[in-house]
Amino acid sequence: MQIEHWHEERDGPLSERALRDKIAGRGYAVSRYVYPPGTFFPAHDHGVDKIDAVVSGRFRMTMGSQEVVLEAGDLLIVPKHLMHTAEVVGEEPVVSLDGVRMR
């Protein structure tokens, strides 16, 4: 799993706009989603490379036997055709930025 954490010294203060700009700057179209507690996405894949990033809340991502809980400022590279699941952890909604590779 390729995970990146927000580093304020390098990336500046964390904000939704700054996280969106970081993803878009890599050639991804960015959409915003809010997932309520209890949301679960069963195993699926995508036909394009993606980035899943968390603005707030906690989002568990599982790829094969690897699992990670993403928190504010974290982003995960999701290669096309890689099966994965996603689940909101806890009682707080997840605000997510979903990047889809454009180039």
Token duo for residue 79: 């290669």
pLDDT at 103: 65
Q: What are phi and psi of 24, to 5 degrees?
A: -60, -35
Neighbour-count burial of 40, counting CB atoms closer than 10 A to its CB (0-12 exposed, 13-18 middle, 19+ buried): exposed
Contact partners, residue 7, CB within 8 Å, separation at least 6: none
With 0.75 as the threshold, say if the pTM is over it: yes
Q: How far apart are CA 80 and CA 67, in angstroms?
A: 18
Place of tokens 């906690």: 58
For strands 75-78 and 2-4, give the pairing: antiparallel
Question: Which of 6, 4, 26 minimizes the C-alpha distance to 73?
Answer: 6
Ordered by start, the domain boundaries in the chain are 2-101
* Distance set, CA 75 to CA 79, 84 (Å): 13, 15
- CATH number for 2-101 (one of 3.40.50.1000, 3.40.220.10, 3.20.20.70, 2.60.120.10): it is 2.60.120.10
Which pLDDT does position 102 carry in this prediction?
84
Which regions in the chain score pLDDT beneath 70?
A: 103
